[in-house]
Amino acid sequence: MTVPRPAAEQDPLKDLYTDWSQILATTPDLTTRLFRSIFDEWHQPTKEPEDVTYAEDTVGGVPGIWCRPLGADSSKVLLYTHGGGFAVGSASSHRKLAAHVAKALGVVAFVLDYRRAPEHPHPAALEDAVSAFLALTGQGIAPADITTIGDSAGGNLAVATALALRERDQPLPGSVIVFSPWLDMENAGETLATNEATDALVTVPLLEGMIAGCLGDRTSPTAPLANPLYADFIGFPRLYINAGGDESLLDNATRLAERAEAAGVDVTLSVVDGQQHVFPFNAGRTAAADNEIARIAKWYGA
């Protein structure tokens, strides 16, 4: 499904990405600590959702933040893995986005602060996501009532969590939702070139640095749990994939949809023209973001 370009409106996320890109281009010796501090601004375009409470917790040994909309069904959980190239981003930077989605779906969300690269390369983040999933089921949450969800690198983790659970002969989540998933650890996608001029943040050099930190010299860029474009999707849960039409990683989303559909998976792909990487970060600010979250809620309840 391709959603037409929305009517012209201010894009706070694109403005933030443009600012970040200028900082990255003019600060060659940026430390990991400061790099992470910059990306913790990711929440700024997102309006604080009303009638949501937050609580820090640890699930399966992994810290994170619960997002609990008032009146939500606490027996249904979004297990949210944040984006940021496996190296930056946090539960704090993503809690508002996760809360908007949880509120629209009428459920609760737990946003993981998984271990990040380069200190903790693959599969540390994936192991944390699997541990949290299994802990939720151990607390009595039915696997079918858990949705793994994430954006960018967190979208990779949302997909890989289901794949890793299948490898362990564990029950799978009931559904998977990914925003602008970053899956291609080979940087082979054609939209890295064709959308270079319209993407305000993602570049090949940026991805190369994050790949090096995540994979190191231990993991192949074609390992299915690191690069799900090489995975077998037979028996995979129903899947919702979202992407912006202007982003460099667009074909990560389209290739994931093609692979999953070929394996018989129930797949919905939503590409919204004119939008940036993980554009639902504009939740509460733009019609494009709010309408997309509403479409996800309709899909979830179907």
Alpha-carbon distance of 109 to 100, in angstroms, equals 10
Element spanning 254, H or E: helix 250-262
Catalytic-residue membership of 119: no
CB atoms < 10 A from the CB of 11, how many? 23
Q: Which of 93, 270, 277, 292 is catalytic?
A: 277
Alpha-carbon distance of 81 to 190, in angstroms, equals 26
Catalytic-residue membership of 152: yes
| 146, two tokens | 């858990």
Q: Which of 247, 248, 270, 292 is catalytic?
A: 247
Three-state DSSP string of 82-128: CCCCCCCCCHHHHHHHHHHHHHHHCEEEEEECCCCCCCCCCCHHHHH
Q: Which of 100, 122, 127, 152 is catalytic?
A: 152
Q: Yes or no: say if 68 and 110 are a contact pair by the CB < 8 Å rule.
A: no
> DSSP string spanning 136-163?
HHHTT--GGGEEEEEETHHHHHHHHHHH
How many helices (H) and strands (E) in the chain?
9, 9
> Could you tell me which of 134, 127, 35 has the C-alpha nearest to residue 89?
35
Q: Which residue in the block uniquely carries the two structure tokens 């600012």?
A: 19
Alpha-carbon distance of 207 to 227, in angstroms, equals 13
Catalytic-residue membership of 186: no
Give the three-state DSSP class for 214.
helix
For 152-283, where are the E strands, in sequence order? 175-179, 238-244, 267-272
Residues classed as catalytic: 152, 247, 277
